[in-house]
Amino acid sequence: MLRLVGGNFRWGTDDHLGHPADSEGPSRLVSVTPFGIDRCAVSNTAFAAFVKATDFVTEAERLGWSVVFFDQLEPEARSAVRGRMGGAEWWLGVDGACWKRPFGPGSRLRGLMEHTVVHVSWNDAMAYAAWAGKCLPTEAEWEYAARGGTQTIFPRGDALEADGQHQCNVFQGQFPQQDTSADGWHGTSPVDVFAANAFGLHNVCGNTWEWLLDGWTTDRSTLPDQDPYFCAPDSQRAIRGGSFLCNDSYCTHYRVAARTRTRTRNTADSASGHMGFRCVRDI
């Protein structure tokens, strides 16, 4: 983990890319106390160790299905498709999809052990964090860490590419039909494959959305300036960072200040093939 000193930073954004309806702005000065945070999102290797130690069964496994991006579906899993998600037809509900079978029946984790674990719910992430003696970050902690002491659009500057090098794992091409994989990855990538931000965190934007401790709210103006946190145990949960499916032809939620869309439901038992997490610890 990395030890971060905390302090003041500008939370949110006032730039033209922001979505006021999602409470991304106006920006305001807030402060977080020192904390430790994982350099990388939790990998399949780390999650497998948790499962081995505890015999934990994820919610997707108990429910018997999860959501898979259509072009990642294993051929033998086509008969396991139970339907498409309304308003997002590229997402398929697939029987048997879970963290260890990320693309449905017939898929395995071969070659993916150092990729971010996916198909984990908020409840699953909280269980892992408790086992590890950690917690999920608040939105304020996550954004402070992701910014790395800057006010740039992305963790390492204002452009997705720098000196010809891709800065994060997002969707290249025309979403959702064609991913050119110009950044070298189709789907998730290893947790540390892209260069870290100034604080030393890898892949805070792109690759996978990350579960946070907070409930979802579109009124952050009422939260305190010191360690803001929206406590709502029974609400939808906040996620940040965007994923390998973010693309400017469809959305720009791979920005540091971006929040999940108001219309997107992320209940505590939700799971999908592009949502993971990292942990924090009090210092």
- pLDDT digits 0-9 by tens, 41-81: 999 999 999 999 999 999 999 999 999 999 999 888 899 99
Q: Does 2-50+114-282 carry CATH code 3.90.1580.10?
A: yes
At residue 235, the pLDDT reads 82
Q: In the chain, which residues have pLDDT < 70?
A: 262-265
Three-state SS at 10: strand
Evaluate the CA torsion angle 120, 126, 127, 132 in order and state its sign.
positive
Sequence-separated (6 or more) residues with CB below 8 Å from residue 252 = 17, 246, 258
At residue 263, the pLDDT reads 61
At residue 262, the pLDDT reads 65
pTM: 0.95
Evaluate the CA torsion angle 30, 123, 192, 88 in order and state its sign.
negative
At residue 152, the pLDDT reads 93
- 256 close to 152: Cβ distance less than 8 angstroms: yes
What are the tokens at 226? 């010191």
Domain boundaries, the chain: 2-50+114-282
d(CA 12, CA 151): 10
What are the tokens at 95? 């029987």
